[in-house]
Amino acid sequence: MCGVFGAYSPSDFVAEEVYLGLSALQHRGQESAGVAWIDNNRRVNTIKGMGLVHEALSQSVLAETPVRSAIGHVRYSTAGGSMLQNAQPICANYAQGPVAIAHNGNLTNFDELRGILENRGAIFQSTSDTEAILQLLAHQPKRSPFEALLRALAEVRGAYCLVVLLEEGLVAARDPWGFRPLSLGKRGDNYYVASESCAFSLLGASLVRDIAPGEVVLINGNGVTSYSLPIKSPKKWLCSFEYVYFARPDSVIEGRSVYGTRQEMGRKLAMSWGASGADFVASFPDSGTTAALGYAQASGMPFKAAVVRNRYVGRTFIQPTQKVRELGVRIKLNPCPELFRDRSAVLVDDSIVRGTTAGLVVSMVRECKARSLHLRISSPPIKYPCFYGIDTPSSGDLAAAKCDEDDMARTVGADSLHYLSKEGMIEAIGLPPDSLCTACFDGEYLEGAKSFNHPPGCCGGIFD
């Protein structure tokens, strides 16, 4: 999972605004960050580095950079390792002009594309799947960069939300299935594109609309022009896990408040799996807090901030190694002994992925001499790997793939454990069931869905 941000202005310098937009999207990636722009000499420039936005980028330098269009990226790796050469945006000054690309998602046919391109002489400089899009552009020397981009996107499979910088303007593109969110914002004459609408508020901009699945938007001096990819999908496939965990609660995706959906997940969880005799409800902050508030409201039990989060530690699920995740949990979360001692508590979290956080937090609460602990999860059990941009590459990494509820309760040390049903989660989100991807919960991947109209043959139109 990554975060992308783009800005265009007919009159203002926007490099610093991209920095601020990336800061608002920091929760989507903490491994690297970068900003790219095109200068007056028709050359693409980039600043990027490893770590958080404020570590990888200089706000003061970007504030003094005189550019009216720029893009940025925050990354956690799902395809390609965590290294500087894979940090984005990826950029090139090729024969047709400068180009920079920032990508959120996973291309499921990357290996196929890379093999074809390398056989035609392409030399890849990274292991990131995003570079395949750049190489596809470069192999179309007779087409304008924007036309080449449209044809390139007709060849890729999987999940992608892109912000692309060309001489023609700022481009935003979303895959035909709409796996990942992408929004258009505006402040005065300035336009912004972001993975989540929460990034607009920081800049005083407002949400205009979502970029539609299969839509490509070109933003330049002519305003906003919309194009459609030739690929037609019979259904949307928006990732339900965005509502469960990834998105910030102050974002709005497809017209649905993330905060509201998480609170409703907690309410439905309480109605299905109350815990009689418990004294209070607590959460795994911050991702479980909104659902815990809904659970407390529906159950009539008080909510207490009994587990405290260190605000200077990032998300543990998106840390690159298991060892770092385990250490991160202990540094990040700490229970209040006086609240748990001799009390029965319901602990609410948004999900169990690898089981790292749940087991360690329950263990720490047990040390506080709690009378009993009941774990409630405001999403279904995650049993299947994601191939569309979440770092769960195999079922062996997923705790729920190996344990039922009773086994999971014993594994993490809880007196009881229950999940929200898939039906309850979908009802809480409030979108049509056939518009949501629930593959990580039920194993129903895109490849198993009804076939969609796609031009035959990989790269069939690229090398004509």
Establish whether 2 is a catalytic residue: yes
pLDDT at position 324: 52
From 221, 237, 253, the end of a domain falls on 237
* CA distances, 39 to each of 42, 92, 99, 126, 339 (Å): 6, 13, 11, 24, 58
pLDDT at position 184: 98
Beta-bridge partners for 417: 375
Residue 435 lies inside a defined structural domain of this protein: no
pLDDT at position 460: 62
pLDDT at position 449: 37
Encode pLDDT of 79-93 as tens digits: 556 778 889 999 999
Q: Is the pLDDT of residue 336 over 50?
A: yes
Q: Are residues 275 and 214 in the same domain?
A: no
With contact defined as beta carbons under 8 Å apart, do 453 and 232 qualify? yes
Residue 450 lies inside a defined structural domain of this protein: no
Q: Are residues 188 and 296 in the same domain?
A: no
pLDDT at position 325: 53
Banded model confidence at residue 464, pLDDT cuts 50, 70, 90: low
What is the count of structural domains for the chain?
A: 2
pLDDT at position 454: 46
Tell me the C-alpha distance between 256 and 273, whole Å.
25
Residue 181 lies inside a defined structural domain of this protein: yes
Residue 434 lies inside a defined structural domain of this protein: no
DSSP string, 9-63: -SSS--HHHHHHHHHHTGGG--SEEEEEEE-TTS-EEEEEEESSHHHHS-HHHHH
Strands 90-94 and 280-283: unpaired
HSE (side-chain half, CA atoms, 13 Å) at 375:
32
pLDDT at position 462: 75
Residue 444 lies inside a defined structural domain of this protein: no
Tokens linked to 408: 């999971």
pLDDT at position 174: 98
Tell me the C-alpha distance between 131 and 124, whole Å.
7
Encode pLDDT of 307-335 as tens digits: 998 877 655 544 555 555 556 676 888 99
Q: Left, alpha or beta for 277 (phi > 0: left; psi -120 to 50: alpha)? A: left
Banded model confidence at residue 388, pLDDT cuts 50, 70, 90: confident
Residue 63 lies inside a defined structural domain of this protein: yes
Q: Are residues 232 and 267 in the same domain?
A: no
Residue 438 lies inside a defined structural domain of this protein: no
pLDDT at position 424: 98
Q: Are residues 195 and 271 in the same domain?
A: no
CATH at residue 190: 3.60.20.10
Q: Are residues 25 and 127 in the same domain?
A: yes
* DSSP state at residue 283: E
Computed from CA positions of residues 424, 243, 450, 445, in that sequence, does the dihedral angle turn out positive or negative?
A: negative
- Give the mean model confidence (pLDDT) for residues 68-89: 85
Q: Could you give the percent of the chain with pLDDT greater than 90?
A: 80
Q: Are residues 16 and 52 in the same domain?
A: yes
Strands 280-283 and 307-309: unpaired
pLDDT at position 390: 80
Tell me the C-alpha distance between 167 and 357, whole Å.
46
Give the end-to-end CA distance of the chain in Å, rounded to a whole number. Answer: 34
Q: Is the pLDDT of residue 453 over 60?
A: no
Q: Are residues 230 and 335 in the same domain?
A: no
Banded model confidence at residue 233, pLDDT cuts 50, 70, 90: confident
Q: Are residues 266 and 233 in the same domain?
A: no
Q: Are residues 153 and 56 in the same domain?
A: yes
What element of type H or E holds 119?
helix 110-119
Pick the catalytic residue: 2, 198, 239, 459? 2
Q: What is the number of helices (H) and of strands (E) in the chain?
A: 16, 23
Task: Report helix angle 289-299 to 258-272, nearest 10.
Answer: 50
Strands 169-174 and 183-187: unpaired
Encode pLDDT of 428-437 as tens digits: 999 999 999 9
Q: Are residues 229 and 363 in the same domain?
A: no
pLDDT at position 81: 65
With contact defined as beta carbons under 8 Å apart, do 168 and 220 qualify? yes
pLDDT at position 317: 47
Least confident of 227-231, 296-300, 414-418, 456-460: 456-460
Encode pLDDT of 142-172 as tens digits: 999 999 999 999 999 999 999 999 999 999 9
Q: Are residues 154 and 94 in the same domain?
A: yes
CATH at residue 329: 3.40.50.2020
Q: Is the pLDDT of residue 457 over 70?
A: no
- Residue 199 makes CB contacts below 8 A (sequence gap 6+) with 3, 5, 21, 22, 24, 25, 185, 192
pLDDT at position 42: 94
* CA distances, 405 to each of 264, 299, 439 (Å): 22, 21, 19
Which range marks the domain in which residue 91 is found? 2-237
Residue 53 lies inside a defined structural domain of this protein: yes
Q: Identify which has the larger pLDDT, 36 or 80.
A: 36
Q: Are residues 188 and 54 in the same domain?
A: yes
